[in-house]
Chain A
Amino acid sequence: MKKLSILFVLFSLTLLSCQDSNLPDKLPFIGQHQYIDGDTILYKIPSFDLINQDEESINNNSFKDHIYISDFFFTSCPSICPKVKKQMLRVYDKYENEDIIKMVSHTLDPKRDNAEILKLYSSNLGVDTKKWMFLTGDKDELRELALKYFVAVVEDEEAPGGLDHSGKIVVVDKNGHVRAFAEGTDPDDVTELMKEIDILINEYSSED
Protein backbone atom coordinates (compact mmCIF):
# COMPACT_ATOMS: atom_id res chain seq x y z
CA MET A 1 0.00 0.00 0.00
CA LYS A 2 2.77 2.37 0.97
CA LYS A 3 4.65 1.57 -2.24
CA LEU A 4 1.52 2.27 -4.21
CA SER A 5 1.13 5.73 -2.71
CA ILE A 6 4.76 6.58 -3.42
CA LEU A 7 4.20 5.51 -7.01
CA PHE A 8 1.12 7.65 -7.13
CA VAL A 9 3.02 10.69 -5.87
CA LEU A 10 5.76 10.14 -8.43
CA PHE A 11 3.18 9.80 -11.16
CA SER A 12 1.54 13.07 -10.17
CA LEU A 13 4.92 14.75 -10.20
CA THR A 14 5.54 13.66 -13.79
CA LEU A 15 2.18 15.14 -14.67
CA LEU A 16 3.28 18.43 -13.24
CA SER A 17 6.54 18.44 -15.14
CA CYS A 18 4.63 17.58 -18.28
CA GLN A 19 2.43 20.60 -17.95
CA ASP A 20 5.42 22.78 -17.55
CA SER A 21 6.92 21.84 -20.88
CA ASN A 22 3.54 21.92 -22.54
CA LEU A 23 3.96 25.33 -24.15
CA PRO A 24 4.41 24.58 -27.85
CA ASP A 25 7.48 25.86 -29.66
CA LYS A 26 5.38 26.61 -32.74
CA LEU A 27 1.93 28.12 -33.07
CA PRO A 28 -0.82 26.44 -35.10
CA PHE A 29 -2.15 27.80 -38.39
CA ILE A 30 -5.70 29.01 -37.85
CA GLY A 31 -8.60 29.30 -40.27
CA GLN A 32 -10.38 27.41 -43.00
CA HIS A 33 -7.53 25.73 -44.89
CA GLN A 34 -8.17 24.28 -48.32
CA TYR A 35 -7.18 20.79 -49.40
CA ILE A 36 -6.78 20.53 -53.15
CA ASP A 37 -5.40 17.38 -54.84
CA GLY A 38 -3.65 16.32 -51.67
CA ASP A 39 -2.10 19.74 -51.21
CA THR A 40 -2.91 21.89 -48.23
CA ILE A 41 -3.41 25.56 -48.90
CA LEU A 42 -3.16 27.36 -45.59
CA TYR A 43 -5.71 30.02 -44.75
CA LYS A 44 -4.43 33.52 -45.48
CA ILE A 45 -5.66 37.08 -45.04
CA PRO A 46 -6.83 38.06 -48.56
CA SER A 47 -5.35 41.07 -50.31
CA PHE A 48 -6.55 44.49 -49.23
CA ASP A 49 -5.93 48.07 -50.25
CA LEU A 50 -6.53 50.70 -47.59
CA ILE A 51 -5.11 54.02 -46.43
CA ASN A 52 -3.57 54.90 -43.09
CA GLN A 53 -3.84 57.92 -40.80
CA ASP A 54 -1.36 59.81 -43.03
CA GLU A 55 -3.28 58.92 -46.22
CA GLU A 56 -0.53 56.55 -47.34
CA SER A 57 -1.77 53.51 -49.19
CA ILE A 58 -1.32 50.24 -47.30
CA ASN A 59 -1.68 46.68 -48.58
CA ASN A 60 -0.58 43.16 -47.62
CA ASN A 61 2.94 43.88 -48.87
CA SER A 62 3.32 46.59 -46.26
CA PHE A 63 3.59 43.83 -43.64
CA LYS A 64 5.70 41.24 -45.42
CA ASP A 65 8.59 41.64 -42.98
CA HIS A 66 6.44 41.84 -39.86
CA ILE A 67 4.19 39.97 -37.54
CA TYR A 68 1.15 42.21 -37.11
CA ILE A 69 -1.56 42.39 -34.52
CA SER A 70 -4.95 43.51 -35.75
CA ASP A 71 -8.28 44.69 -34.40
CA PHE A 72 -11.44 46.41 -35.71
CA PHE A 73 -13.15 49.37 -34.03
CA PHE A 74 -14.60 52.82 -34.71
CA THR A 75 -13.71 56.02 -32.90
CA SER A 76 -17.26 56.87 -31.80
CA CYS A 77 -17.92 53.35 -30.51
CA PRO A 78 -19.43 53.49 -27.01
CA SER A 79 -19.49 49.74 -26.35
CA ILE A 80 -16.55 47.33 -26.37
CA CYS A 81 -13.97 49.28 -28.40
CA PRO A 82 -12.34 51.26 -25.57
CA LYS A 83 -11.84 48.04 -23.58
CA VAL A 84 -10.25 46.31 -26.56
CA LYS A 85 -8.04 49.37 -27.13
CA LYS A 86 -6.89 49.21 -23.51
CA GLN A 87 -5.75 45.63 -24.15
CA MET A 88 -4.16 46.56 -27.50
CA LEU A 89 -2.29 49.24 -25.57
CA ARG A 90 -0.94 46.57 -23.19
CA VAL A 91 0.34 44.62 -26.21
CA TYR A 92 1.82 47.82 -27.65
CA ASP A 93 3.63 48.62 -24.41
CA LYS A 94 5.11 45.14 -24.22
CA TYR A 95 6.40 45.03 -27.81
CA GLU A 96 7.19 48.71 -28.30
CA ASN A 97 10.88 47.94 -28.91
CA GLU A 98 10.36 44.64 -30.72
CA ASP A 99 10.84 45.73 -34.35
CA ILE A 100 9.29 42.62 -35.88
CA ILE A 101 5.90 43.52 -34.35
CA LYS A 102 3.48 46.01 -35.93
CA MET A 103 -0.04 46.81 -34.87
CA VAL A 104 -3.03 47.68 -37.06
CA SER A 105 -6.46 48.99 -36.09
CA HIS A 106 -9.11 49.06 -38.81
CA THR A 107 -12.14 51.34 -38.57
CA LEU A 108 -15.58 49.93 -39.32
CA ASP A 109 -17.02 53.42 -39.80
CA PRO A 110 -14.90 54.94 -42.60
CA LYS A 111 -17.52 57.60 -43.33
CA ARG A 112 -16.78 59.28 -40.03
CA ASP A 113 -13.29 57.92 -39.39
CA ASN A 114 -11.25 59.51 -42.16
CA ALA A 115 -7.45 59.73 -42.01
CA GLU A 116 -7.59 62.98 -40.08
CA ILE A 117 -9.89 61.62 -37.34
CA LEU A 118 -7.75 58.49 -37.04
CA LYS A 119 -4.61 60.58 -36.68
CA LEU A 120 -6.20 62.59 -33.88
CA TYR A 121 -7.33 59.35 -32.22
CA SER A 122 -3.84 57.86 -32.38
CA SER A 123 -2.33 60.96 -30.83
CA ASN A 124 -4.93 60.95 -28.04
CA LEU A 125 -4.08 57.31 -27.49
CA GLY A 126 -0.45 58.39 -27.30
CA VAL A 127 1.01 55.85 -29.71
CA ASP A 128 3.64 56.05 -32.46
CA THR A 129 1.92 55.47 -35.82
CA LYS A 130 5.11 53.97 -37.26
CA LYS A 131 4.49 51.08 -34.90
CA TRP A 132 0.69 51.15 -34.67
CA MET A 133 -1.21 52.10 -37.78
CA PHE A 134 -4.87 53.09 -38.16
CA LEU A 135 -6.54 52.09 -41.43
CA THR A 136 -9.61 53.34 -43.25
CA GLY A 137 -10.97 52.90 -46.78
CA ASP A 138 -14.00 51.51 -48.56
CA LYS A 139 -16.78 50.55 -46.16
CA ASP A 140 -17.71 47.28 -47.88
CA GLU A 141 -14.07 46.24 -48.22
CA LEU A 142 -13.54 46.86 -44.49
CA ARG A 143 -16.66 44.86 -43.56
CA GLU A 144 -15.55 41.96 -45.78
CA LEU A 145 -12.06 42.12 -44.39
CA ALA A 146 -13.34 42.08 -40.79
CA LEU A 147 -14.92 38.67 -41.47
CA LYS A 148 -11.55 37.40 -42.69
CA TYR A 149 -10.12 38.36 -39.30
CA PHE A 150 -12.99 36.44 -37.63
CA VAL A 151 -14.68 39.68 -36.57
CA ALA A 152 -18.45 39.52 -36.90
CA VAL A 153 -20.14 42.82 -37.82
CA VAL A 154 -23.86 43.45 -37.74
CA GLU A 155 -25.52 46.76 -38.51
CA ASP A 156 -28.07 47.20 -35.75
CA GLU A 157 -30.10 50.30 -34.96
CA GLU A 158 -30.53 49.10 -31.41
CA ALA A 159 -26.84 48.50 -30.74
CA PRO A 160 -24.82 51.31 -29.15
CA GLY A 161 -23.31 53.29 -32.00
CA GLY A 162 -25.55 51.46 -34.50
CA LEU A 163 -23.00 48.71 -35.09
CA ASP A 164 -22.56 45.43 -33.29
CA HIS A 165 -19.23 43.69 -33.65
CA SER A 166 -16.92 41.34 -31.82
CA GLY A 167 -13.62 42.44 -30.32
CA LYS A 168 -11.13 39.87 -31.57
CA ILE A 169 -7.44 40.65 -31.54
CA VAL A 170 -5.74 38.61 -34.25
CA VAL A 171 -2.04 37.79 -34.80
CA VAL A 172 -0.87 37.45 -38.42
CA ASP A 173 2.58 36.15 -39.42
CA LYS A 174 4.91 37.41 -42.17
CA ASN A 175 3.15 35.29 -44.77
CA GLY A 176 -0.34 36.50 -43.93
CA HIS A 177 -1.34 33.39 -41.97
CA VAL A 178 -3.40 33.79 -38.82
CA ARG A 179 -1.50 32.21 -35.92
CA ALA A 180 -3.35 33.26 -32.76
CA PHE A 181 -6.27 35.32 -31.54
CA ALA A 182 -7.87 36.51 -28.31
CA GLU A 183 -11.08 38.07 -27.11
CA GLY A 184 -10.00 41.69 -26.78
CA THR A 185 -12.35 42.45 -23.91
CA ASP A 186 -10.79 39.73 -21.73
CA PRO A 187 -7.49 40.76 -20.08
CA ASP A 188 -6.58 37.15 -19.15
CA ASP A 189 -7.08 35.99 -22.71
CA VAL A 190 -4.80 38.79 -23.90
CA THR A 191 -2.14 37.77 -21.35
CA GLU A 192 -2.22 34.29 -22.95
CA LEU A 193 -2.06 35.89 -26.39
CA MET A 194 1.15 37.69 -25.47
CA LYS A 195 2.75 34.35 -24.54
CA GLU A 196 1.77 33.10 -27.98
CA ILE A 197 3.22 36.19 -29.62
CA ASP A 198 6.50 35.45 -27.81
CA ILE A 199 6.49 31.97 -29.33
CA LEU A 200 5.94 33.36 -32.82
CA ILE A 201 8.77 35.87 -32.39
CA ASN A 202 10.94 32.95 -31.35
CA GLU A 203 10.00 30.97 -34.44
CA TYR A 204 11.41 33.76 -36.59
CA SER A 205 14.49 34.47 -34.52
CA SER A 206 15.55 30.80 -34.63
CA GLU A 207 15.22 30.93 -38.43
CA ASP A 208 18.17 33.23 -38.96
Chain B
Amino acid sequence: MNTALRTSLILCFAIYFFANLMSCTDGRFKQGKVLYEYHCASCHMEDGTGLAELYPPVNGSDYLMNNREKLPYIMRYGIEGPLTVNGLEFDIPMSGIPELSAVEISNITNYILSAWTNKLGTMSFEEVMESLNSNPAGINN
Protein backbone atom coordinates (compact mmCIF):
# COMPACT_ATOMS: atom_id res chain seq x y z
CA MET B 1 0.00 0.00 0.00
CA ASN B 2 1.38 3.44 -0.74
CA THR B 3 1.99 5.75 2.17
CA ALA B 4 -0.48 8.44 1.14
CA LEU B 5 -3.30 5.97 1.07
CA ARG B 6 -2.20 4.47 4.36
CA THR B 7 -2.03 7.78 6.18
CA SER B 8 -5.40 8.84 4.88
CA LEU B 9 -6.91 5.53 5.95
CA ILE B 10 -5.44 5.88 9.43
CA LEU B 11 -6.72 9.45 9.57
CA CYS B 12 -10.17 8.28 8.56
CA PHE B 13 -10.22 5.70 11.30
CA ALA B 14 -8.99 8.20 13.85
CA ILE B 15 -11.73 10.64 12.90
CA TYR B 16 -14.34 7.89 12.94
CA PHE B 17 -13.16 6.76 16.35
CA PHE B 18 -13.24 10.26 17.86
CA ALA B 19 -16.58 11.08 16.30
CA ASN B 20 -18.02 7.95 17.89
CA LEU B 21 -16.51 8.77 21.23
CA MET B 22 -17.92 12.30 21.14
CA SER B 23 -21.42 11.24 20.19
CA CYS B 24 -21.20 8.53 22.80
CA THR B 25 -20.61 10.89 25.71
CA ASP B 26 -23.14 13.23 24.18
CA GLY B 27 -25.81 10.61 23.71
CA ARG B 28 -25.47 8.97 27.10
CA PHE B 29 -28.61 9.57 29.14
CA LYS B 30 -29.92 11.82 26.41
CA GLN B 31 -33.55 11.01 27.23
CA GLY B 32 -32.77 11.59 30.90
CA LYS B 33 -31.37 15.02 30.08
CA VAL B 34 -34.39 16.01 27.98
CA LEU B 35 -36.79 14.80 30.68
CA TYR B 36 -34.78 16.51 33.42
CA GLU B 37 -34.91 19.79 31.55
CA TYR B 38 -38.65 19.43 31.02
CA HIS B 39 -39.72 18.22 34.47
CA CYS B 40 -37.09 19.38 36.95
CA ALA B 41 -35.04 22.28 35.56
CA SER B 42 -37.72 24.89 36.22
CA CYS B 43 -37.03 24.54 39.95
CA HIS B 44 -33.61 22.89 40.19
CA MET B 45 -32.25 24.81 37.16
CA GLU B 46 -30.62 23.47 34.00
CA ASP B 47 -27.22 23.35 35.71
CA GLY B 48 -28.69 21.71 38.82
CA THR B 49 -27.73 24.57 41.14
CA GLY B 50 -31.23 25.27 42.51
CA LEU B 51 -32.22 28.69 43.82
CA ALA B 52 -31.18 30.17 47.15
CA GLU B 53 -33.15 28.59 50.05
CA LEU B 54 -36.19 28.01 47.85
CA TYR B 55 -35.09 25.10 45.66
CA PRO B 56 -32.19 22.86 46.72
CA PRO B 57 -29.34 21.98 44.32
CA VAL B 58 -29.14 18.51 42.77
CA ASN B 59 -25.66 19.30 41.46
CA GLY B 60 -23.16 18.63 44.25
CA SER B 61 -25.90 18.04 46.83
CA ASP B 62 -24.66 16.28 49.97
CA TYR B 63 -28.24 15.19 50.62
CA LEU B 64 -28.34 13.38 47.29
CA MET B 65 -24.89 11.91 47.86
CA ASN B 66 -26.06 10.38 51.15
CA ASN B 67 -29.52 9.41 49.90
CA ARG B 68 -28.90 8.25 46.36
CA GLU B 69 -31.42 5.42 46.68
CA LYS B 70 -34.26 7.89 47.42
CA LEU B 71 -33.95 9.75 44.10
CA PRO B 72 -36.45 7.64 42.07
CA TYR B 73 -38.92 7.71 44.96
CA ILE B 74 -38.68 11.51 45.29
CA MET B 75 -39.49 11.94 41.60
CA ARG B 76 -42.68 9.88 41.79
CA TYR B 77 -43.96 10.79 45.24
CA GLY B 78 -42.31 14.11 46.07
CA ILE B 79 -40.68 15.08 49.33
CA GLU B 80 -41.64 17.39 52.17
CA GLY B 81 -40.57 18.52 55.58
CA PRO B 82 -37.43 20.41 56.56
CA LEU B 83 -34.38 19.28 54.65
CA THR B 84 -30.75 20.35 54.98
CA VAL B 85 -28.75 20.46 51.77
CA ASN B 86 -25.15 21.70 51.83
CA GLY B 87 -25.78 23.50 55.10
CA LEU B 88 -28.91 25.33 53.91
CA GLU B 89 -32.35 24.61 55.30
CA PHE B 90 -35.24 23.95 52.87
CA ASP B 91 -38.87 23.58 53.84
CA ILE B 92 -41.12 23.89 50.81
CA PRO B 93 -42.78 20.64 49.73
CA MET B 94 -41.98 19.23 46.29
CA SER B 95 -44.91 17.37 44.70
CA GLY B 96 -44.30 14.09 42.95
CA ILE B 97 -44.59 13.80 39.19
CA PRO B 98 -46.92 10.79 38.74
CA GLU B 99 -46.89 10.88 34.92
CA LEU B 100 -43.24 9.76 34.78
CA SER B 101 -42.92 6.04 33.97
CA ALA B 102 -40.38 3.83 35.76
CA VAL B 103 -38.19 3.81 32.65
CA GLU B 104 -38.27 7.59 32.40
CA ILE B 105 -37.44 7.87 36.10
CA SER B 106 -34.55 5.48 35.58
CA ASN B 107 -33.21 7.63 32.76
CA ILE B 108 -33.49 10.87 34.72
CA THR B 109 -31.85 9.19 37.73
CA ASN B 110 -28.86 8.07 35.73
CA TYR B 111 -28.58 11.42 34.02
CA ILE B 112 -28.50 13.29 37.36
CA LEU B 113 -26.09 10.87 39.03
CA SER B 114 -23.36 11.70 36.51
CA ALA B 115 -24.40 15.17 35.27
CA TRP B 116 -22.41 18.38 35.99
CA THR B 117 -20.04 17.79 38.92
CA ASN B 118 -21.90 14.68 40.13
CA LYS B 119 -19.95 11.43 40.22
CA LEU B 120 -22.52 9.25 41.94
CA GLY B 121 -22.27 6.17 39.74
CA THR B 122 -25.24 4.54 38.04
CA MET B 123 -28.39 2.81 39.21
CA SER B 124 -29.76 -0.40 37.68
CA PHE B 125 -33.40 -0.69 36.72
CA GLU B 126 -33.88 -3.16 39.59
CA GLU B 127 -32.57 -0.61 42.07
CA VAL B 128 -34.89 2.01 40.62
CA MET B 129 -37.88 -0.32 41.03
CA GLU B 130 -36.81 -1.11 44.56
CA SER B 131 -36.76 2.60 45.39
CA LEU B 132 -40.19 3.15 43.83
CA ASN B 133 -41.67 0.27 45.79
CA SER B 134 -40.24 1.28 49.12
CA ASN B 135 -40.91 4.15 51.40
CA PRO B 136 -37.35 5.11 52.23
CA ALA B 137 -36.99 6.08 55.87
CA GLY B 138 -37.01 9.79 56.42
CA ILE B 139 -39.48 10.67 53.69
CA ASN B 140 -42.87 11.34 55.15
CA ASN B 141 -45.84 11.68 52.89
Contacts and interface: CB of A to CB of B under 8 A. Distances in A.
Interface of A: 78-83, 85-86, 89, 121, 123-126
A202 B62 CA distance: 44
Contacts of B92: 124
B115 interface: no
Nearest to B54: A124
A125 B54 CA distance: 6
Contacts of B51: 82, 85-86, 89, 125
B52 A83 contact: no
A71 to B, nearest CB: 14
Contacts of A85: 51, 54
A152 to B, nearest CB: 18
Contacts of B129: none
A82 B45 contact: yes
A126 B52 contact: yes
Contacts, number: 33
Contact of B42 (A83, A89, A123): A83
A85 to B, nearest CB: 6
A86 B43 CA distance: 10
A98 B43 CA distance: 29
Contacts of B41: 83
B130 to A, nearest CB: 28
Contacts of A83: 41-42, 45
A82 B43 contact: yes
Contact of A124 (B42, B45, B52): B52
Contacts of B53: 123-126
B38 to A, nearest CB: 11
Contacts of B29: none
Contacts of B52: 89, 124-126
